[in-house]
Amino acid sequence: MQPLDWIVILLYFILIGAVAWWYGRNQKDSVDYFLAGRNAGWITIGASIFTSNIGSEHIVGLAGQGASTGMAMAHWELHAWVLIMLAGLFVPFYYKSGVETIPEFLEKRFNARARTILSVVSLVAYVFTKVSVTVYAGAIVFQALLPDTFGSPQNAFWVGAFATVLITGIYTVFGGMRAIMSTATPQAVIILLGSFVITYIGLSKLGGWGELVSMAKANSDNFALWRPLSDPSFPWLGVLMASPIIGIWYWCTDQYIVQRTLSAKNLPTARRGALFGGILKIWPVLIFLIPGMIGWALNQKGIIHLPPKMMGGQIVAPIDGDLVFPTLVRELLPAGIRGLIVACLLAALMSSLASLFNSSASLFTVDIYEKLRPGKSDKHLLMVGRIATATVVALGMIWIPVMAKVSGGGLYQYLQSVQGYLAPPITAVFLLGLFWKRVNATGAVWGLAGGFLLGMAKLTIQAFFGTGPGKISSPAFLAWIGDFSFLYATGLLFVASIVLIVAGSFTTPPPAPEKIKGLTYGSIHEEAADEIHKSWDAGNKLMAGIIVIAVLGMYLYFSLWLK
């Protein structure tokens, strides 16, 4: 890192700090803090959705997956089509119901117990997957770029981890959703610009796109988008089962993402913001996954050197995928540009963490604290929200050391596997709840609680039993469960959750018509239906069409690119 790099990074922090202070000084109540006063425009909403999704685990983790598994994880990054579902099917119910959180919607549709279960599951997921993975990925970059600045690479790792969490936590605590959404657009620009730069320079060093395709064809088994059923990691059937389940949960039912649409000034804006987020979501395959493959190709040619992956003092893979991105930054980029790329990474890390902290505070304050202590003033709830944010910051830092031990399979793949055990019951409850009036509170509780327990059982067994380094191989049936593909496990958990929901619903009476009025597609009254129909205007239809054409085009190209 040269002085010019540090100047660029410092300027970025000054800008973010100034924005957070400016917007944070005007926080009046909890609606301001959590939903930016419900006055956001569609460009801001879409940019915030994109920057909330694109954290350091995407930039670092996707580059690593590109280098080690080629296009296998692209299915998870072609989820732009799911945002059409968010805008078309889910947002109207969320927005018209006037809720501040997604668990609050579950209470309206089912009961308070379903709301509490979803809030607790979401908070557990945020603290122990998203916070830790995002921070760990950012810290890896500090370790690679500043190995001797703080005495040792290990010190650089911890300084990077704690500094970014604390700075992000401070500006989230004081700025709230207004600061997060106001910084979203410039952060999206920085992320896109920085990633385009590294892709362009990498391809220039390699010899162009044709050279990358040629090298990938020679290793088509490791770089293909679709893999045979015999593939141990990404069989095509498992991908088709797991990817949509995780995608619908993440993009359509997770507070972390959906909260942005709830901050819109009206329903058409909320829907257009979700679709604009979908258009931005088209790019990660090209600007995050492709650079990883470029890094692999440059390593094959000897232009850069990627270290092997080590576990327990042994080499377990020829390339440590999580070090691909920082190695590209360190070895390819000139001073100033390198600082811009690091600022790009910080933008991704901070926007993702900030959104996560704020969503966690929303869940705790609105869905748990207000239920325990009703009738509190907005000023009091604002204070509780800030304390909750600070608590999530602290828990995220405490969990960081564990990530070094559990991320052996690559950050991004680890994240998707954990989400594959959390997503199925939530996806099942929301889909059945919206489209089937017969589903009641008992079924929702059975599905959420039972599915969560089954998923956590699989995750726990996977952590201790199996054939990997340090795993326990006896008894054999537990080792088999531990090694069972997370892709197929996600599909089986989804089916099990549906069975539990249906069984629970049919053991008790159906919900009263007045209880579910306006909360399912079969109970919308005529006036609301007309408003929802009009909010899907020509502009929204055009944006949805752009997403469909782009996603189909990318699937077609990358399905055939190695033929």
Helices of type H across 407-520 = 411-435, 441-464, 476-483, 486-506, 513-516
Strand partners, 314: 311
CA–CA distance, 524 with 366 (Å, rounded to integer) = 26
Q: For the chain, report the end-to-end CA distance as a whole number of angstroms.
A: 41
CA–CA distance, 484 with 80 (Å, rounded to integer) = 28
Could you give the angle at which helices 337-362 and 153-206 cross, rounded to 10 degrees?
Answer: 120
Residue 481 identity? I
Q: How many domains does the chain divide into?
A: 1
Return the C-alpha torsion angle 127, 133, 136, 140, nearest 10: -170
Confirm if 486 and 420 have CB atoms less than 8 A apart.
yes
Give me 227's structure tokens: 């893999």
Helices of type H across 25-146 = 30-35, 42-53, 56-69, 74-77, 80-85, 91-97, 102-109, 112-125, 132-145
User: Does the reported pTM lie above 0.95?
Assistant: no
- Please give the share of the chain, as a percent, with pLDDT higher than 90: 28
SS3 388: helix
Q: What domain range is 193 assigned to?
A: 3-560
Q: Which residues of the chain, if any, have pLDDT below 50? A: 29-31, 33-37
Of residues 308, 357, 306, 283, the one with CA closest to residue 34: 357
CA–CA distance, 226 with 561 (Å, rounded to integer) = 11
Question: What's the pLDDT score for residue 534?
Answer: 87
CATH number at residue 436: 1.20.1730.10
- The residue written with tokens 């939903």 in the block is 35
Question: What's the pLDDT score for residue 468?
Answer: 66
Question: What's the pLDDT score for residue 29?
Answer: 47
Task: Say which DSSP state 40 is in.
Answer: B
Of residues 443, 492, 424, the one with CA closest to residue 253: 424
Of residues 507, 521, 371, the one with CA closest to residue 440: 507
- Please give the share of the chain, as a percent, with pLDDT higher than 70: 86
Of residues 237, 250, 228, the one with CA closest to residue 418: 250
pLDDT per residue over 221-272, tens digit each? 888 999 999 988 899 999 999 999 999 999 999 877 887 787 788 889 999 9
Question: What's the pLDDT score for residue 407?
Answer: 52
pLDDT per residue over 187-233, tens digit each? 667 777 777 888 888 899 999 999 999 999 988 888 899 999 998 88
Question: What's the pLDDT score for residue 316?
Answer: 67
Could you give the angle at which helices 290-301 and 56-69 cross, rounded to 10 degrees?
Answer: 50
